[in-house]
């Protein structure tokens, strides 16, 4: 299934990508698995989305826990903890 993935703030700068659309590998079911898959791409992805870094994820404009399942045509975003206000 197709998904769109967006990156914001320091993570966007680190990976040099604002967003990308692609066919999700069939073995990736949830947000944690997607993050792990990015880490296997090597640098700069592995550092930017490393499990040791504070990263938040949103699915279809809603902040989510890492075990949330990805649906077809989802928009997923990875970003650092928010700092507005």
Least distance to another protein from the beta carbon of 81, Å?
3
* Cβ 76 vs Cβ 43: under 8 Å: no
Please tell me whether residue 52 binds another protein under the rule CB under 8 A: no
Q: Does 16 bind another protein (CB under 8 A)?
A: no
Contact criterion met (CB below 8 Å) for 74 and 46: no
HSE-up (13 A, CA, CB side) for residue 10: 11
Q: Does 9 bind another protein (CB under 8 A)?
A: yes
User: Binding residues for another protein, per CB under 8 A?
Assistant: 6, 8-10, 54, 58, 61-63, 77, 79-85
């Amino acid at each position: 299934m197709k998904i769109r993935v967006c990156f914001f703030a320091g993570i966007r700068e680190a990976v040099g990508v604002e967003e990308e659309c692609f066919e999700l590998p069939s073995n990736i079911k949830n947000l944690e698995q997607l993050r792990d898959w990015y880490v296997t791409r090597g640098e700069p992805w592995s550092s930017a989305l490393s499990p040791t870094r504070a990263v938040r994820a949103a699915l279809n404009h809603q902040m989510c826990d890492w075990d949330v399942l990805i649906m077809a045509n989802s928009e997923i975003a990875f970003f650092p903890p928010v700092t507005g206000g």
